């Protein structure tokens, strides 16, 4: 007679598979999302030890209340001129996104990604950084370039991969690179920019420089090994870097639970590494500005890195290749409890009597006209699909500082085959 298994009285093991609360067709109720009152979170001294304010990784730093008033210790008390500048850059980003989204739908480019609902994350943070600080973005931080005054035509040239594209058509649309504006090349490989940012920050400190680094990734990317390697180096060497996590609730088509959101906050990852952690209302431009300024001061005074989770919502699809109606409720964007970042900053300025609806409408029209004019200028250099815009022999340029012999041979073979085919690449 076979002996009974020693654990026969225990239930079998099972796995937990995260499941979003709302699927297509479901009614949306975000009542379970904990939103603490604005102004409630304390603001520690920038020299405080990370272990003294771990609670800030689990709450939400907020400045703008439901009536549009700036309250609490994190209020950066910005001038009306600075507030209007931030609002303008956020509105310009939105106008640029809308125009380029339509250009993709018209077949002028292959791909685009909008930052709708997340404008404060990039724009407000950039205003809080120094112009020569180095930014290592993910692919939804085009607001950094817009805030730093990078020409819209140059951004469009890159999107169209046309004759004016400084990257010679070698990058996927929207993966910009602008060293002269402190904007590191965007990579389609998720979170490679995290260890790059930490390494750059360590080099800045080793050279005795005063510039710091800032980097961004989505919440899903925190599951990548590069994220954790970067956090280890940043913690051990107290690198002068700001590590931003944009928690917009959704990766390409999977919700944040697959990256660990059901267990704890993303800011809590900082606690395990012994670095400063903040969880911020990402739709509150003043909170994003204040948190970034605080983290920048810590970095510049050798207090080490800060990890900031920006709690926000991706109002559009992941990209023009994505259809969010296939995996989430259509009611989610309008039901998101933290509202729209542009509207919230606009309402704050109106409450200060430094802005009004008519001026806002006029600005929206002005920016839409500006983007349209810049688009016409960029399209003089061509659009995607209208032939090869870059000389074919530049295909191998930029891989190495000095081209090795084997690439020279491959380039010569390619050009010889092109000539022999009698069908040269269309370069019009």
For the chain, residues with pLDDT lower than 70 are 1-3, 423-428
42 is a catalytic site residue: no
Catalytic residue among 43, 150, 327, 411: 327
Residue 288: alpha-carbon gap to chain centroid: 13
- Please name which of 236, 250, 291 lies closest in space to residue 267, comparing C-alpha atoms: 291
How confident is the model at residue 389, as a pLDDT?
86
Distance CA 263, CA 275 (A): 20
Strands (E), 86-173: 134-136
Q: What single string gives the DSSP state of each residue in 23-80?
A: -TT-----TTS--PPTT-S----TTS-GGG-GGGGTS-B--B-TTS-B-STT-----H
Phi, psi angle pair for 195, to nearest 5° = -65, -30
Catalytic residue among 314, 328, 348, 389: 314
How confident is the model at residue 138, as a pLDDT?
96
273 is a catalytic site residue: no
Phi, psi angle pair for 310, to nearest 5° = -95, 110
Distance CA 306, CA 294 (A): 9
Q: Which residues contact 336 (CB under 8 A, 6 or more apart)?
A: 30, 117, 283, 313, 315
How confident is the model at residue 423, as a pLDDT?
64
How many of the other CB atoms lie within 10 Å of CB of 18? 14
How confident is the model at residue 421, as a pLDDT?
82
| CB environment 50-61: b (16+ within 10 A), e (fewer) | beebeebbebbb
pTM for this predicted structure: 0.94
How confident is the model at residue 428, as a pLDDT?
43
Which residues are paired to 289 by β-bridges? Answer: none
The pLDDT tens digits for 165-206 are 999 999 999 999 999 999 999 998 889 999 999 999 999 999
How confident is the model at residue 427, as a pLDDT?
46
How confident is the model at residue 424, as a pLDDT?
62
How confident is the model at residue 2, as a pLDDT?
58
Catalytic residue among 62, 318, 328, 360: 318
318 is a catalytic site residue: yes
């Amino acid at each position: 007679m076979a002996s009974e298994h020693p654990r026969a009285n225990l239930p079998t093991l099972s796995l937990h598979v995260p499941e979003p609360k709302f699927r297509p067709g479901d009614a949306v109720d975000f009542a379970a999302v904990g939103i603490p009152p604005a102004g409630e979170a304390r603001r520690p001294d920038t020299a405080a030890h990370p272990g003294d304010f771990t609670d800030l990784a689990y709450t939400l730093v907020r400045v703008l209340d439901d009536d549009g008033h700036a309250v609490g210790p994190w209020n950066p008390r910005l001038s009306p001129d600075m507030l209007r500048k931030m609002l303008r850059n956020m509105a310009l980003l939105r106008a640029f996104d809308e125009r380029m989204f339509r250009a993709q739908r018209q077949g002028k480019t292959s791909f685009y990604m909008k930052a709708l609902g997340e404008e404060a994350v990039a724009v407000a943070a950039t205003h809080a950084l120094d112009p020569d600080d180095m930014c290592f973005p993910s692919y939804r931080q085009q607001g950094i370039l817009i805030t730093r005054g990078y020409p819209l035509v140059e951004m469009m040239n890159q999107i169209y991969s046309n004759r004016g594209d400084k990257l010679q058509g070698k990058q996927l649309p929207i993966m910009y690179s602008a060293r002269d504006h402190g904007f590191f090349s965007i990579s389609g490989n998720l979170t490679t920019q995290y260890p790059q940012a930490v390494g750059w920050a360590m080099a800045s400190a080793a050279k005795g420089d005063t510039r710091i680094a800032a980097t961004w990734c989505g919440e899903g990317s925190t599951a990548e090994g590069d994220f954790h390697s970067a956090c280890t180096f940043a913690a051990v060497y107290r690198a002068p870097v700001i590590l931003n996590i944009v928690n917009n609730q959704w990766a390409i088509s999977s919700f944040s639970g697959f990256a660990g959101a059901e267990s704890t906050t993303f800011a809590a990852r900082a606690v395990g590494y012994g670095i400063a952690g903040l969880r911020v209302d990402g739709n509150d431009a003043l909170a994003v500005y204040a948190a970034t300024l605080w983290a920048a001061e810590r970095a510049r005074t050798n207090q080490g890195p800060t990890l900031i989770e920006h709690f926000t919502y991706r109002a559009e699809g992941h990209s023009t290749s994505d259809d969010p109606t296939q995996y989430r409720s259509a009611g989610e964007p309008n039901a998101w409890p933290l509202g729209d970042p542009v509207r919230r900053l606009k309402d704050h300025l109106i409450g200060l009597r430094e802005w009004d609806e008519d001026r806002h409408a006029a600005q929206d029209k002005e920016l839409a006209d500006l983007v349209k004019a810049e688009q016409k200028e960029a399209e003089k250099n061509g659009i995607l699909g209208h032939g090869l815009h870059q000389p074919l022999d530049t295909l191998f340029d930029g891989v190495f500082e000095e081209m090795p012999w084997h690439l020279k041979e491959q380039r010569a073979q390619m050009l010889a085959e092109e000539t022999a085919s009698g069908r040269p690449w269309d370069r019009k």
